Structure 1
Amino acid sequence: MTHRLTREQARRIVVRAQLLDADRPGDVVEVAEQLGYIKIDPTTVIAACEHTVLWSRIGWSYETGQLKKAVEIDRLLFEFQGAFHPMSLLPLLRPTMRRHPERESSRQWLEANAGFRSDVLARLRADGPLTAREIPDTAAVARAPDGWSGSNQVPLMLDLLARRGEVAVTRREGRSRVWDLADRVYPRDLPEVDDETAAQELEARRLKAAGIAREKSTWTRVGKAGEAAEVEGSSWKWRVDPDALEAADVDIDGRVALVNPYDSVLFDRPRLAEVFDFDYVLEQFKPKAQRRYGFFAHPILMGDRFVGMLDAEVDRDRELLRVNAVHEFVPFEPEETDMVRAEIGDLAEWLGVRVVGME
């Protein structure tokens, strides 16, 4: 059976799957379980990505300490490859961990640095938890700096060992990762899942988070998970989460969400254009003269449509949220203006600052 959906239904499915409708989730773990990951990024024009993602969904009751507790004390979430994931996802990632690294150049580097690997694991075993700077660099073969990493080989080794499931981030000190042996971070009673089952369940989890995705998308890899669907006006073949279909005909109570540029709802750019008619471009890496909306402008989601961009920044010294501009794709109705202003006010209150620039 192939489900036939209007664009509005498809948008509703996406918004609800991403927990951006008016029915807000209760806590950090609920968000992580549904989305599959909460991206970590240090860009703090307004607030760090991981905290903005959670605030935009949970709202006023979210406090940053809740994320720290879930990761470092309760161990319900874990940090892996630049994101926080629910611990329920770890068994599905282990088959891939066992195969890592699959790239031949990385295999050769790891083999050439077998002694270095042993040194890192021994130091963590004896003295961990440790930051990368507390671990000596004893690499026999070094990789040249690539713009993302420097000459110190320890962060490279730690990242590779983390992908193999040998070490893990146990906590953070500021923005610095603190590492330990994976056996001392991850639960020991996790179920074993074979490669085929893990791959299928990962596709199902991705579709659950997406709601609906292109069948052969390289952005949201869902394979044959869910059920086939068509979307009005689109020639793509889609897969839809059957559980999400139940609410496709229910209106989304209008609310405004200010979306961090690295939010998962924005990740699948082709889907954004196809379903939302939103050609999103992050202007962070553009020259200033070429920016239309601002260095790190946050898309504004109203109900099931992206209606504008918020160019704002926090001035911590003066305790201000400075609104440089609210770019409206189509002029707002007075009620819509009030809704956007109210959400910006709530954001400022959550940040503990006052708003300027909306007079």
Structure 2
Amino acid sequence: MHRLSRDEARRIAVRAQLLDADRPGDVVEVAEQLGAIKIDPTAVIAPSEHSICWSRLGWVYEPGHLTKAVEVDRQLFEYDGHFRPTSVLPFLWPLMRTRRLRASTRDYLDANAAFRADILKRLGRDGPLLAADIPDTSAVQARDESGWYGANQVPRMLELLAYLGQVAVSGRVGRQRVWDLAERVYPAGLAEPSVDEAESALAERRLQALGIAREKSSWSGVATAGEPATVAGSTWRWRVDPAAVAALDDDPGGRAAVLNPYDRMLFDRPRLTELFDFTFVLEQFKPKSQRVYGYFAHPILVGDRFIGLLDAALDKKKENLVVGAVHELVPFDDDEREMVHAEIRELGEWIGVPVRGLDA
């Protein structure tokens, strides 16, 4: 049983997410450690997949690095809304092929068996293809309670087939996905672990990415990976990565980081509150009159504390990064303010635009 102070637990979490002073070397190292890089088109400042990489790598990161790793080197692959390291594919593969689908999804696939076969045949003959290049021959439309889909059933069917490991995203043209048969995207000769072995390995990888997480939490998916731990002042049962505990004495120190709202560091909201005393609410889907910090405010981490939120956006012509506010959750001291402002200016430099509205 590891007995950790709250400071130690936070340092483990920050370091596991590559947000300490010791920056990683490249985008593949980022993906290997984080396990998944969220893809989202919302680009108030920059798309999530790019700002997540920038917050780890800094100014050396270029979006082309991610594209090359995915489409040329095949060190990463796209699956279920994330870029993931190819090293986890052998463990996802058996889960893809044994997915238990909801009854409504099974009924949809059964009713559209011919449509499903048409897509696979078209990709086999003509792929890789954009969804727009594939005709919709569906017999039944799926209910769209989310509002994300239109009447065209091709994107919906492609995503289901990708979830089941039959097709895969081979690349992108702008924000549009290019699809192909999975056998032509994924490497041949994947290992064949059992479902139990695969789930155990993925739990270990999730814990590696988090450093420390609540035992058997649905937010983290670490189950009982790693080793048990207690955290001072917390009644939770924790699991901790033993390698992260062993590295506590080798502390490179902290830094300032501006995090995209879809950053993996922020996903486990209960852990965020329990360890960091930070309750993060994304106000993107709130009416404007109910927003406190802004439409797409980016949390600001300094060292192992969340001390503020950045409300900023590119202007309509994308010529300036306009800072609406830097909200101080706790009063900044002079050093913290300097670090935060320097990070915001570096963000502007990385995007290639001046920063407007930031106090001197």
Q: TM-score range by the shorter chain?
A: over 0.9
Residue 169 of structure 1 contacts residue 180 of structure 1 at CA under 8 Å; is this kept in 2? yes
2:47 aligned with 1:38 = no
2:159 aligned with 1:130 = no
Residue 9 of structure 1 contacts residue 249 of structure 1 at CA under 8 Å; is this kept in 2? no
Q: How does 1:289-300 map to 2 (within 5 A)?
A: 289-300=289-300
The equivalent residue for 2:176 is 176
SS of the residue 2:253 aligns to: coil
Residue 208 of structure 2 contacts residue 241 of structure 2 at CA under 8 Å; is this kept in 1? yes
**Pairwise CA distance, 1:66:** 0.2
The equivalent residue for 2:272 is 272
SS of the residue 1:311 aligns to: strand
Residue 40 of structure 1 contacts residue 48 of structure 1 at CA under 8 Å; is this kept in 2? yes
The equivalent residue for 2:114 is 115
Q: What's the TM-score, normalizing by structure 1?
A: 0.98
**Pairwise CA distance, 1:254:** 2.9
2:18 aligned with 1:9 = no
**Pairwise CA distance, 1:70:** 0.3
**Pairwise CA distance, 1:101:** 4.5
The equivalent residue for 1:156 is 156
**Pairwise CA distance, 1:141:** 1.7
The equivalent residue for 1:54 is 53
Tell me, in whole angstroms, the C-alpha distance in 1 between the residues paired with 2:111 and 2:358. Answer: 59
Q: What's the TM-score, normalizing by structure 2?
A: 0.97
Residue 5 of structure 2 contacts residue 231 of structure 2 at CA under 8 Å; is this kept in 1? yes
**Pairwise CA distance, 1:132:** 1.0
Task: Provide, for residues 68-121 of structure 1, a one-character-per-residue CA deviation record: whole Å limited to 9, x for no partner.
Answer: 000001011000000000011111111211123522221121122111111001
The equivalent residue for 2:301 is 301
The equivalent residue for 2:76 is 77
SS of the residue 2:49 aligns to: helix
Q: Note the residue ranges of structure 1 that are not aligned, 5 or more in a row.
A: none
Tell me, in whole angstroms, the C-alpha distance in 2 between the residues paired with 1:303 and 1:294. Answer: 23
The equivalent residue for 1:257 is 257
Tell me, in whole angstroms, the C-alpha distance in 1 between the residues paired with 2:206 and 2:251. Answer: 24
Q: How does 1:192-271 map to 2 (within 5 A)?
A: 192-251=192-251, 253-271=253-271
Cα distance change, pair 153–101 in 1 and its aligned pair in 2 (3 A) = farther
The equivalent residue for 1:68 is 67
Structure 2 counterpart of 1:106, which letter? T
**Pairwise CA distance, 1:175:** 0.8
Structure 2 counterpart of 1:111, which letter? D
**Pairwise CA distance, 1:160:** 0.7
Residue 10 of structure 2 contacts residue 275 of structure 2 at CA under 8 Å; is this kept in 1? yes
SS of the residue 1:59 aligns to: helix
Structure 1 counterpart of 2:322, which letter? R
Residue 101 of structure 1 contacts residue 164 of structure 1 at CA under 8 Å; is this kept in 2? no
**Pairwise CA distance, 1:27:** 0.5
Residue 145 of structure 1 contacts residue 151 of structure 1 at CA under 8 Å; is this kept in 2? no
SS of the residue 2:2 aligns to: strand
Cα distance change, pair 279–169 in 1 and its aligned pair in 2 (3 A) = same
**Pairwise CA distance, 1:154:** 0.8
Residue 4 of structure 2 contacts residue 230 of structure 2 at CA under 8 Å; is this kept in 1? yes
SS of the residue 1:294 aligns to: coil
**Pairwise CA distance, 1:249:** 4.3
SS of the residue 1:60 aligns to: helix
Q: Note the residue ranges of structure 2 that are not aligned, 5 or more in a row.
A: none
Runs of 4+ in 1 over 6 A off after TM superposition: none
Residue 10 of structure 1 contacts residue 248 of structure 1 at CA under 8 Å; is this kept in 2? no
Residue 78 of structure 2 contacts residue 168 of structure 2 at CA under 8 Å; is this kept in 1? yes
Tell me, in whole angstroms, the C-alpha distance in 2 between the residues paired with 1:252 and 1:314. Answer: 33
